[in-house]
Amino acid sequence: MATISLKRRLGEFRRIGSDWTLLVGLLVVVLFLGVAIIYPLSKMLGVSFTAESFAYYVRYFSSPVYQGIMWNTIQLGLVVGLFGTALGFLFAYVQVRVDVPFKKFMNLMALMPIISPPFAVATAAIVLFGRGGLITYRLFGIRYNLYGFTGLTIVLTLSLFTVAYMNLQGMLRALDPSLDEAATNLGASKWHVFRTITLPMLIPGIASSFLLLFVEAIADLANPLVLGGDFTVLASRVYIAISGEYDIFAGSVLSVILLVPSLTVFIVQRYWVSRKSVISVTGKPAGKPTMITNPIVRWGLFALTMFFSLLILLIYGTVFVGAFTELFGINYTPTLRHFEFVVLGLGSQAMMDTTKMSLIATPIAGVLGMLIAWLVVRKHFTGRSLIDFISMLGIALPGTVLGIGYLLAFNKPADIGSITLLPPLAGGTAIAGGTIALILAYVVRSVPAGVRAGVASLQQIDPSIEEASISLGADNATTFRKVTLPLIRPAFLTGLVYSFARSMTSLSAVIFLSTPYAKIMTAQILNEVDAGRFGNAFAYCDILIIMVLIVIGILYFVVGTTTGVERDFGVSL
């Protein structure tokens, strides 16, 4: 038994070895995951499990203040998970099952957060609904205190519900309408059908969305920094420990405490809940779903969805207009001062640096994502599910955790004995002014979206198409380039778009890594918001959004030309 298994393993190595392209692909991926994820993560864990750090655990778990911070974090995760899922469901349900006008607009509003920089929603919320807010104070005369749990919940829900929306919309579309019809045929009312058929079928999807939102909410750094007030969560506490107190032990220990719920929930979501799903989302609509006809329900849902859509529009409208006014909320004199600062003045370095680094990271992340997806779906080798899992860590790990790992791993050279394996990659004195660590972080954060898109796309493509290519004499690399990549081009495009948007807008993973030679825009936005220069912050946000949109447009133009493959496979963004 053991010998057979050993022989099989040997055969596998022989096979991988004889196909050098597979070998190279695997090596690249393993090296990337090792250097960019495993190594920094293990550094961080190393620091957090030393004798010194033990005292921190004792202190944190016995201190009511820190217990409060932990509870705040969990509470925020739960509430945002709940509200975000509900809002996502509302938008998705209206999109798929209710026949009302302005659905395109609602869809657009629901997708806005993907390209939105952090701070945009929070800052706009402050000038609209804060103490001197346009709506709260100017309109209703209320001096409302937005800072704290309530404000955070609202802003995070509006910023994160997109995940639930896309997830649930896919499921609702994939739901076989003949089930509904069968139930209706048996005499069930619409409400009864919804309660006994639609909802139960969607429960795994709903649970999945909830858990994903939980993970994102507890990892979020930008909003607690701006809107938290006295309400501290683990992510913002980690930031203070590193940036304010320069206490790497505190940062690492708090990171581990944040890591535990994040990773647990992520694993539960990925390996348990999402497997319970009875609906397979193929990207092809399952048929024409039955629409809601009851006018009260229909227009009630419409009003509710429209309210939130308009709220989102108001927020992004404020982000847009705010950049052109002296000080939104107080002085509405039109000005181009803020744009001058960002585009021509002191702020322009961050804009250029971030864009350059994102442009470098995007193709790397795009190709790596497709490569990992291809290896995971198509190639049978021991450890492929481990590769899949580790690549997903890029998004499952809270950004601050990754950031500390990078700080620890790349600020100094990586040595084994006297041999330097890696020179320092992060920090102002590192090669290329620390840009390499930043680009690596961007890639790590972007790869998972590409992998998921690639996996979904590959699973829909008949493997014999690739086998046909091999059978005709092509090796793995040629097959990947000439057959696989053209067929999964829509997923590749999705991966690229996400990568660029993610890189441009990411904060938590890179905020510790920015240097005088490699400034990042999101960190600059934080500075401006902190200093109360909202106009500059809005100008940054506008430029960021516009740049992301331009690059997406270019990507569509370059990569998404017309062969009809997208249509044939029913895969699209």
Q: Residues interacting with other proteins, by CB under 8 A?
A: 4-5, 7-8, 11, 14-15, 18-19, 462, 464-465, 467-475, 478, 482-483, 486-487, 563-565, 568-569
Nearer to other proteins (CB atom), residue 108 or residue 468: 468
Cα-Cα-Cα-Cα torsion 426, 432, 433, 435, nearest 10 degrees, comes to -60
Side chain identity at 545, as an amino acid letter? I
| The token pair that represents 225 in the structure block | 């920094």
Nearest CA-CA partner of 406 in 504, 505, 512:
512
Cα-Cα-Cα-Cα torsion 341, 344, 346, 349, nearest 10 degrees, comes to 120
Burial of 184 (0-12, 13-18, 19+ CB in 10 A): middle
Nearest CA-CA partner of 513 in 428, 443, 421, 398:
428
CB-CB contact of 370 with 494 (8 Å):
no
Min. distance of Cβ 264 from other proteins in angstroms?
A: 24
The Cα 181–Cα 489 span in angstroms is 36
Side chain identity at 265, as an amino acid letter? V
Nearer to other proteins (CB atom), residue 438 or residue 488: 488
The helix (H) or strand (E) run that includes residue 331 is: strand 331-334
Whole-Å CA distances, 125 to 53, 405, 442, 553:
38, 32, 28, 29
| The token pair that represents 44 in the structure block | 């961080």
The Cα 250–Cα 305 span in angstroms is 43
Min. distance of Cβ 174 from other proteins in angstroms?
A: 22
CB-CB contact of 205 with 281 (8 Å):
no
Cβ count near 555 (within 10 Å): 19
The Cα 84–Cα 78 span in angstroms is 10
Nearer to other proteins (CB atom), residue 230 or residue 462: 462
CB-CB contact of 238 with 400 (8 Å):
yes
CB-CB contact of 211 with 241 (8 Å):
no
Place of tokens 């695997």: 26
CB-CB contact of 433 with 515 (8 Å):
yes
DSSP-assigned letter for residue 564: S
Min. distance of Cβ 569 from other proteins in angstroms?
A: 8
Nearer to other proteins (CB atom), residue 11 or residue 428: 11
Whole-Å CA distances, 524 to 272, 309, 398, 510, 513:
40, 29, 21, 12, 13
